Amino acid sequence: MIDKLVELVQQYAGNTVINNSAVPNEKNEAAISSIADGVFNGLKSEATGAGLGSILNMLSSGGNISSAITKTVQSSVIESLISKTGIAKSAASGIAASIVPSILGSLSKNTADASNKGFDISNILSSLTGGATSGLNVSNLLDRNGDGKLDFNDLSSMLSSGSETTTATGKKKTQVGSSSSSGGGLLGGLLGNLFGKK
């Protein structure tokens, strides 16, 4: 995933890094690499914590990025830039504020496009979760209406198509997934996080 992030950073590194007097020319490559590392570590921090639902939403929405993710990633990029290039905190903060929203927006749009095999949502999610979602084809699981896009309609379809069971009191209850289906329990948890359920 890092190589894809480096590509995205390079796309937006023009005035932000390359032509930035606060970044010495000999440190341009290190700055680009440190930004990519910072983005990855920030996203990983969110994905392995309470922000997994927001990460899934970002990767599947084509542009819907929470302010919490942006803030976490910016902080990670600032820390990475300072530690690996030695630039001033004010300069690092300015770079992060300028480039992170563009990178996250591009990442979101690329992963939501099912035809873009270079940004496979399943592989990216697996990288961010340390392999916890390895083996799950997230794209196929979420693209419920088969339009090649991952959006709110797919998530709504996933929720509404859950299995219906009858409880001991005779009430019917809908379940998003079961542990017996491929990744159902995990996906149910992801969707629960996404919609704010605990």
Tell me the pLDDT of the chain (198 aa) as tens digits. Answer: 889 999 999 999 998 999 999 999 999 999 999 999 999 999 999 888 877 888 888 888 888 898 999 999 999 999 999 999 999 999 999 999 999 999 999 999 998 887 888 888 888 888 888 876 666 555 555 555 555 554 445 444 544 554 344 444 444 444 444 333 444 444 555 555 444 444
User: Rounded to whole angstroms, how far apart are CA atoms 2 and 127?
Assistant: 9
Look at residue 167 in the predicted model and tell me its pLDDT: 45
Question: In Å, what is the CA distance from 5 to each residue of 71, 73, 105?
Answer: 18, 13, 12
Identify whether residues 108 and 180 lie together within a single domain: no
Give pLDDT tens digits for 15-55. Answer: 899 999 999 999 999 999 999 999 999 999 988 887 788 88
Q: H-helix or E-strand containing 193?
A: helix 184-194
Which of 128, 152, 170 is at the close of a domain?
128
Look at residue 189 in the predicted model and tell me its pLDDT: 53
DSSP 119: G
Identify whether residues 122 and 100 lie together within a single domain: yes
Tell me if 188 is assigned to some domain.
yes
Identify whether residues 121 and 28 lie together within a single domain: yes
Q: How many CA atoms lie within 13 A of 79 on its CB side?
A: 12
Tell me if 102 is assigned to some domain.
yes
Among 150, 130, 148, 146, CA closest to 60: 150
pTM equals 0.70
Spatial contact of 139 and 114, defined as CB atoms under 8 Å apart: yes
Q: Number of folded domains in the chain?
A: 2
Among 104, 91, 128, CA closest to 1: 128
Identify whether residues 58 and 151 lie together within a single domain: no
Tell me if 118 is assigned to some domain.
yes
Tell me if 133 is assigned to some domain.
no
Domain of 60 in residue numbering reads as 2-128
User: Rounded to whole angstroms, how far apart are CA atoms 97 and 86?
Assistant: 18
| Paired strand residues for 166 | 172
User: For the chain, how big is the Rg over CA atoms in Å?
Assistant: 19
Tell me if 78 is assigned to some domain.
yes
Identify whether residues 85 and 123 lie together within a single domain: yes
